[in-house]
Structure formats: C-alpha cells, structure tokens
Amino acid sequence: MSLLEVKNLTRSFGGLTALSNVDFHVEEGEIVSLIGPNGAGKTTFFNCVTGIYSPTSGSITFRDEVIAGLRPGRVAEKGISRTFQNIRLFASMTALENVMTSREEEKATEEKGHHLLRFVGISPRANSTAGNLPYGDQRRLEIARALATEPKLLLLDEPAAGMNQHETDGLKSLISKIRNNAISILLIEHHMKVVMSISNRVVVLDHGEKLAEGTPKEIQKNPDVIKAYLGG
C-alpha cells in the first residue's frame, strides 16, 4: 500500500467536473510533482486530499486509513500538511509566533519553533514581523508552519511562485532536505526547472483528467504533454 493512494477521484461543482476519475499515489520517500495548465484541477486535487473539499466520488487513503471526507484538522492529525498558493501567514505576528500557533505546550513550542526556523534557514528572522519579511522568507516561514504539525506528507502549492533564481535554488535544496528527513513531498509547481530537477515522478493533469505519469525525462518527451502543457 502506498503512503497516499487515490482511486477514481471525481469532484464536481454543479455542472462542472473539476476532477474526473483520477488515480494517483505517493510512496514513502518520494517527491512527486503535479503539473498541468491553469484550471487543470491541481489545487482542487490538493483541496480534496486535505479535507477542504469532499470528493464527489472515489477514494483517498493515507497510511492505510480512509481520509476522504475528513475535515482539514483531522487530516492534519493523520499526518498531512500543506502550504497554499497565496501565502497564509499572521502578518502582524513574528516569524516565531507564526510557527508556534501550530503547537500547544508553550516551552516545547518555542524550542520547536526555533528549531524549525533554523531548519528552513530563517532563524535570524525569528523576531521579525511576518508581514515585513522578504517574499522568499515568507515562503520558507509558511513551510516551517506546515512542518510544525510533524507531517509524513507535505503538500506544497506553487512554492517557487514569485521567487528569483537564488531563492528558487535555495527552495530546491530545502525540499530535498525535507524529504531526507523522512517526509514525502507532493508538489504543485509551474516552474519546470524545479519540477524536473527534484521530482522522482511527475503526474500531469489536463481538464481534470490524468494525462500522463512518469519520470521527469519521460514527461519531457511525452508528445501529449508537450502539446497540452509545454507549448510544443
């Protein structure tokens, strides 16, 4: 059994089908990227996995437990955490306070918060107000917050969006570092150099359906993908 197993996932909104019979899996220790044109259903897929939406039909299993239909808090308790395409931080709180909001016992929380800020590379910003952080550091802070729940699977929604080349290179290193700490990664990303350089597998969605799946090299050579997404 895979760490995450999705079978025949369908999600409809009225007369619109955003996802149609999507099969998907993530193995332990993998970095899997989910790519596709805007409107392909990528964020809807994330929202179904994390409990924001309930599937119209199909199944979602995580670590041998059915999680389809659970609320987001319960999904997080099971070991899945995420970031969002639009950064969601408490702008008036410090970086450390943002990370601490995910924990309970204050002393242990503060120690853990400092550890996570060091882990993502922004410990000197611990007492800086989150809203005043540089954009790349805000992205890293959001990842630190997601890691505070100690997930087994981390979902990253376009983490490289808006980053310069230096920040993007640092992000790739951070994602690999997270995976090396026994956390599997599921990534939505439009930055193809990021996707192709760090992914074990790539899954392509188009109009809510799975178009292709394979290694980065296989996806780069896939004529259907080139036609639908890469602009060939």
Q: Is pLDDT of 232 > 60?
A: no
Q: Long-range CB contacts (< 8 A, 24+ apart) of 167-170?
A: 167/135, 167/136, 167/139, 168/193, 168/194, 170/121, 170/136
Contact 120, 141 (CB under 8 A): yes
Helix (H) or strand (E) holding 7: strand 4-13
Please tell me the predicted confidence (pLDDT) of residue 162: 87
Q: What mean pLDDT is predicted for residues 170-197? A: 95
CA angle (56, 58, 60) in 5-degree steps: 110
Q: What mean pLDDT is predicted for residues 90-98? A: 92
Tokens representing 7? 């079978």
- DSSP secondary structure letters along 8-39: EEEEEETTEEEEEEEEEEE-TT-EEEEE-STT
Per-residue pLDDT tens digits for 16-33: 999 999 999 999 999 999
The alpha carbon torsion through 183, 187, 193, 197 (nearest 10 deg) reads 30
**CATH code of domain 4-79+151-230:** 3.40.50.300
The helix/strand/coil state of 48 is: helix
If pLDDT is split at 50, 70 and 90, which confidence band does 88 have?
confident
If pLDDT is split at 50, 70 and 90, which confidence band does 50 have?
very high
Q: Is pLDDT of 54 > 80?
A: yes
Please state, in angstroms and as integers, the Cα–Cα distance from residue 25 to each residue in 60, 104, 128, 133, following that order.
Answer: 10, 32, 39, 35
Mean confidence (pLDDT) of the chain: 93
Please tell me the predicted confidence (pLDDT) of residue 105: 57
Q: Is pLDDT of 121 > 60?
A: yes
Q: What residues contact residue 31 under an 8 Å CB cut-off, 6+ apart? A: 175, 176, 179, 184, 185, 187, 198, 199, 200
Amino acid found at 20: S
Q: What mean pLDDT is predicted for residues 49-54? A: 96
If pLDDT is split at 50, 70 and 90, which confidence band does 87 have?
confident
End-to-end CA distance of the chain: 36
Q: 60: closest CA among 4, 1, 3?
A: 4
Helix (H) or strand (E) holding 4: strand 4-13
Please tell me the predicted confidence (pLDDT) of residue 109: 84
- What is the Cα–Cα distance from 202 to 152, expressed in whole angstroms? 19
Please state, in angstroms and as integers, the Cα–Cα distance from residue 89 to each residue in 4, 99, 130, 173, following that order.
Answer: 27, 9, 7, 22
Per-residue pLDDT tens digits for 125-137: 999 999 999 999 9
